[in-house]
Each structure stands twice: as C-alpha cells, then as structure tokens.
Structure 1
C-alpha cells in the first residue's frame, strides 16, 4: 500500500489548501469535465526544442488515422507539466493523458491503475514505478543514468589498457590521466555537480544499501551515512587536482564541449549525452562508455541507476478514459511509435529495432547487462525519500566540497536538511 506520510510538509500543506477544489473536480468528473466528447483526447506533454508541437502531432497521426479519434496536444499552462498537472486537477481542467511526469501520493487517486492491462506489463520499468500494488505510469524506454564516458586516445596516452571496475583502479587512472596532460575527470556547475556524484556512486551505494531511499524513509538509514564515503572520495579527487576546482563555474554545455574537444579523460553523464555526441559529428578520438566502479570485493557491474523514459499516465473519471488508454497503448507498444520516441534524448529499450551509433550500442549493452535497475535521486514508486527537492540541495552540498567543506560537514548538512523537510 502507499504511504501517505511521504513528501515534504510544505508540499502537503500547499496541496491541502487545494483539496476542496480537487474534491469538486472529482465529483463533477465525466464527459462534462473533460473534452472527451466528439472523440477528442487531450494530452499534456513536455514541449522542447526538438520535441515540439510538430513532433507530437506527427507521432499521434497514425493513431488518429487508424481510430478516427482526435488527439489535442497541449503544453503545460505553468512552467512545467509537473507544476501544471496538480493546478489543473484543482481547477477541474486536467487533460486525459499526462506525459513526462510520475504519480505521487497526492495525484495517484486521480489516475487510472493500468496494472491489469495486458499490453502494459512488458513495458520498461513497469514494476519499478509501482505504488504499492498499483501501476499508474507506463513508459517507452529507459534513460540510463550511471555511465562514465571516456576518451580512448587519452587512455592510450596515459597507459590505461581497460576501464576501471573498482574505486582504487579509478583513482590510479585519474592520476595517470592528469600526468598525461588531460583534465582527468570533467565536472560542471549548475545541476550537474550533484547529479554526476550521484550517477557515479549509484552502483556502489545500491550494493551497500539496497533501496536506500526507502531505508531513509523508514528511519533505518540517513542520507549522510549513505553518501559520506562518496563525499570523502570526491573531496580527495578535488584535493588531488583530478577534478579542477574551476570546473564548478562551468555550464553543463561547456563541460560537454571540453569532452568533445578531446581535452578530457573521463566524463560522468547519462544516456542523453549520446545524443549530444551524435550531433557533434566526427570527433578527434573514439568514445568509450563503462558502468561506474564498485567497492573492492563487490561484483562489477553493479546496479544501474535508471529512470523510466517518456512516461504516460491516464486521468481517471473522464469521458475519454477508454480512448485515452488506447492512445497510451499505441504510444508505448506500436513499433513505429516506439522507434520514433527512442530516437530522441538518449532513450533505450531492450530488443528495440533501432539503428544505434557505436556509443549507443555500448550503452545498450550496459543496460542489458545490468543486474538490476535502481531508483535515482528522490526515488520512484515505493522506493522514495521522505522529502522533495533533494537534487538541488544535494548539488549545493556537493559544491560545498569545492570551498573547503569536509565529508563529515557535507553529511551533516544533508541530514539536517532532510530532518527539517521530511
């Protein structure tokens, strides 16, 4: 069953103020509360430069032609889908299908449980995103988080013959890369500082503390205890000069550019970076990819941090509910529709019939070989931290290591924040 205690007190208080509106909307739901009349399905999506209105209309056109139904593509009314969906629920104007976000304890009662739909059960990470025994989100593929990209020419010049599998091997390689004149490990400021540290530590952390987010929620573990070893290693890398202190002032795009220019040995990033490499054209070196190291004595590769990509949810109680389920089934199972979505933003799916670059093939192999896919950041489904806003705070704490904070200081700071916001 879902735990109603999860989520920050601030978020609960804000949503509590909207409860009367949500109840009114729920009581009045049906054909009149949705634009499901006349065969129209409203779908709110995350619009980006490459996933624009034309992209989405082209994607759903075959469904419209086959079924005679009309899909109305809508962008968020606020800053994002995540912000807009709860607002629209409260106002009684929420769409029939919601893309790009996941359910939580507050929105789940307004969504259709897709657990009994035969077509949904084999979609990527279906069980990992369950809330209790209910499944509200289905996705097209997986975005792999825990990847380390490397410059094979830099490895050769540094005398490194194979990617590291343990932290000791990694530190030896970092030292050799720096001595060979390369930026040993590329980092950046903004969100990327904390994200990279989480990404490279996911496999080791989940071997030491399986489902660690749930352990924090249950009071069996603290975030500080889980991450202090990582903070200690990271601070050592900074002190050794394997990470340049000035890199915390770079934007993620500048960090991408440094790696693409051949100045860098190692660069931690997610599967979406493969798309950036693909757009860069011919590079002056060959790119390799490996799963992050694990502790001595542990099996490599470790669990792979991953997220469901292109998730879809169906709102409950609308006049278009059945048609909305048909649309979602098309989007996550139709071979052509899946192929079109896998071709954007580094989305992967096992056994999918898509042409891949050499880098993408390596990532697919890492994903296929991973012993387990595990929750990242705040978590997913039932494996969740008892707070929201974790990633920005974690980045703030990680950046404090550049300005003199110790690993113990960082662990204490993140625990204090969790205690104040759970």
Structure 2
C-alpha cells in the first residue's frame, strides 16, 4: 500500500526570519531529442502567473535570458490555475511533459517522480540551492533528492476590505473563531456580504476545512492521518462541525457554488469590486483582486490581512499556519538550459523585482527586504513568527486523497454531506491508497 505523503514546513524560529513565500510548436510538451551542445535549444515553459505584476515580470525575464543566451528559445504557455491542472494531467497521460512547469511539491510531485515524468535536479542545483529559503526548497525534496526549485513561499489568511469593516463598525480583525463568526454576523446585519468563495474550483473551500483541522485536530493529527488515514478522528469531525456553523450563517455571495476563484463573478472579483468583505486566500490574492477591479490601486490600498483565527480548546496554536509556495518542476526530457533558466528566475535581480512588485514573497535569501507592499509585509511578518506551516492538503497528500478532500468539503458547502460524512469520505480515500 502506498501511503499518502505528508509535506509540512517545520521551521525553527530563527530560520523563520528568512520567510519568503502561450506559444509552442507541434510538440507543446517538449521533445526527447533536445540536446545541449551549444546548438539551438527550445524550452517549453508552462506557468500560472496569468495576472500582473508577475505575468509581466516573467515575460521580461524570458527576454533577458534569451538576450544572454541567443541559442535558447523559450516558448511560454500561460494558464489559469484550473486550466493548467487539467491540461497538465492530459499532457502527462500522453507521456509528454513540459520542460518547466508550475509545481507545489508534496504528494503530487512524488507521484510524478515515481512515474518517471520529472527530473531529479540535485546535481545541477547543488552549488546554489542553499541560497534559497530551506523551508521552501524542502517542499521539492523527495528522499533527499531535489525535484524542483521554489520561487515563492507564503501562507493562507483572511484578506478583507477595510472600508467595509469600517462601514460595519468593526475596528479590530477577529483573533478567535467565535470572534470571527461574530464579525460575519455584524457584516450581515449591515447588509454586507461577509465572505466571498469560489467553490466551483473546490480548493477554496478546502482552505476552510484545512485551517479548522489544523486549529482543532492539530499538526500531529494531520501527520498521523497522512500515515494511517485517520481523517475520521474527532478533531476532523469537529473541524467540519465548526465549518458547518459558518455555512449555516449563509455568509457567502449568491451563486458561490458555481463561482470560480478568478474571473468574472468569481471570488477575486467579489473582493475586487467591493461586493464582499473577506476572502480566505494565499499571498497571491492581492494582485488577483486588483486584476478583477476597475481601480487596482484603490483595491490594494483598501486591503487588510489577518491570520486564520485560533479555536478555543483546539490542539493547534497561533504559530502553526497553513500555506505553501510556488515553484517549478522539470520534465523528464528537459535540457540542462531549463534548470539554468529556472536558476535565473530566482536570482536576486529577478527576485527583488518580484518582491518589490507585491506579486510574491521571494525565496532567495537577502531579497526579503524587497517586499515593501504593506499587504505582503503583513503575510511576511506572520510567516516569520510561524514555527510550522502545513502544506495545502490537495498537494501535501497523494493526489487521490487531495482530490477526496476537495470533493468531500464541497459536498459540505452544498449541504449534501454532514461533517461526519466528510471526515469518513476522506479517511476511506486515504486508507484505500
């Protein structure tokens, strides 16, 4: 039996201060015939930074690298998150893999490595991988070998529109779960939609159940469940109970079950247009909110952020957080230039530009100071205080288990499953793995 893989960032407090968070040819996923002898090389790169500022920063990086390496051509395919996952799955099933592609590490990366679809890049990265945040690089380590390169590391928390809090008379963000539920009720009483969610994509709902599981069941229970499938334990059922309390308040926008994270009518648009007050999301959220608004600067200036509330009596403390990062894995036939280009993407020059843009929390040591955006600094400061960050559950565990989490939690949001049903479904999937 293949056990679900658990990936978490366990950080000493001192180390935590280093916090960071299309084109193509007829063979869009690359070719095994590629050589690296100084002759022409084509790299196929798929990424999901489909909004400013990172979309432009990556485009500039391509131009700069190609200017210094005239024998290299980089074909870029930019995809929205869900479209990327679907296309990558289909492409990999055909045996073709992009040379460089978005990866979150964890159980999905392990499955790709076990299938021989991605490269072990330990040797080509060993001279410089130590220049990156170790918590971030650890997400891409499997059995002591490096299978990817991180560029972003952060955590999930609650983003909110300050103007809507002010309108509702809320002076201080809630620190506990009971205070949070009161905040939701206060916003509703003022005619303000408290929460936006893009539950069509499923993973936004998983964020709620996962955070509550970490706060109530605790990190040790998540670790144990990753080993023996015990997601039907009392802490996980209680997490569902508390999420049900929130759902029963009807805090979400109309049509939330059919709404995506990004795009027209989605979660990001609800926040970007000021139609909802709060959104539970990662460090990438501000730029996406802004991209879905008429006045990006006004939105960014009106955002605030606070960590997920603590739960009284829960096993998880305030220094234990939920999140992860972004990075790149490399297809089985990728040429050496693919790793070299990824190395260029995490150099201080590019990382400082990315950090200064407010688009990411860079992982190159020494570039943290480039982050000046007040929203991103809030995440960075909280990350620096964290001594544990649990990786996204749909990435931390084997793909079948991660999918079961997303599917089961969506059933709870839809009123088609009980908290006990959710816990049992996830446990069954984990034990069947």
Partner of 2:62: 60
Local SS of the residue matching 1:126: helix
Structure 1 contact 302–370 (Cα < 8 Å) conserved: yes
Partner of 2:227: 218
Please state how far the C-alpha of 1:289 moved relative to its aligned partner.
0.6
Q: Which is worse superposed, 109-118 or 228-237?
A: 109-118
Q: What is the total number of aligned residue pairs between the two structures? A: 381
Q: Which is worse superposed, 73-82 or 126-135?
A: 73-82
| Pair 339,211 (structure 1): closer, same or farther in 2 beyond 3 Å | farther
Match for 2:303 among 284, 287, 290?
A: 287
Inter-partner Cα distance in structure 2 for 1:373 and 1:231: 21
Partner of 2:44: 44
Partner of 1:165: 175
Structure 2 contact 157–306 (Cα < 8 Å) conserved: yes
Partner of 1:132: 143
Partner of 2:201: 191
Inter-partner Cα distance in structure 2 for 1:396 and 1:74: 35
Partner of 2:81: none
Q: Deviations over 1:152-193 (max 9, x none)?
A: 23333434332122112212222222222222222333015x
Please state how far the C-alpha of 1:233 moved relative to its aligned partner.
1.4
Please state how far the C-alpha of 1:339 moved relative to its aligned partner.
4.0
Q: Which is worse superposed, 232-241 or 206-215?
A: 206-215
Match for 1:309 among 318, 326, 330?
A: 326
Partner of 1:17: none
Inter-partner Cα distance in structure 2 for 1:230 and 1:265: 23
Please state how far the C-alpha of 1:198 moved relative to its aligned partner.
2.1
Q: Deviations over 1:200-234 (max 9, x none)?
A: 74375167332655423421622665532222112
Please state how far the C-alpha of 1:284 moved relative to its aligned partner.
11
Cα RMSD, aligned residues only: 3.9
Inter-partner Cα distance in structure 2 for 1:347 and 1:410: 33
1:120-269 alignment, distance < 5 Å: 120-124=129-133, 125-144=136-155, 146-192=156-202, 194-199=203-208, 201-202=210-211, 205=214, 208-210=217-219, 214-219=223-228, 221-222=230-231, 225=234, 227-243=236-252, 246-252=255-261, 253=263, 254=265, 255-269=267-281
Larger Rg: 1
Partner of 2:345: 331
Partner of 2:26: none
Task: Please say if 1:271 is aligned against 2:271.
Answer: no
Local SS of the residue matching 1:416: helix
Match for 1:358 among 374, 381, 401?
A: 374
Inter-partner Cα distance in structure 2 for 1:331 and 1:129: 16
Structure 2 length as normaliser, TM-score?
Answer: 0.72
Structure 2 contact 199–205 (Cα < 8 Å) conserved: no
Inter-partner Cα distance in structure 2 for 1:53 and 1:411: 38
In the TM superposition, structure 1's runs of 4+ consecutive aligned residues that sit over 6 Å from their partners are 51-55
Q: Which is worse superposed, 176-185 or 295-304?
A: 295-304
| Pair 265,220 (structure 1): closer, same or farther in 2 beyond 3 Å | same
Inter-partner Cα distance in structure 2 for 1:5 and 1:309: 24
Local SS of the residue matching 1:190: helix
| Pair 32,83 (structure 1): closer, same or farther in 2 beyond 3 Å | closer
Task: Please say if 1:87 is aligned against 2:94.
Answer: yes
Structure 1 length as normaliser, TM-score?
Answer: 0.74
Structure 2 contact 4–430 (Cα < 8 Å) conserved: no
Long gaps (5+) in structure 1: 8-30
Inter-partner Cα distance in structure 2 for 1:418 and 1:222: 8
Partner of 1:14: none
Structure 2 contact 198–260 (Cα < 8 Å) conserved: yes
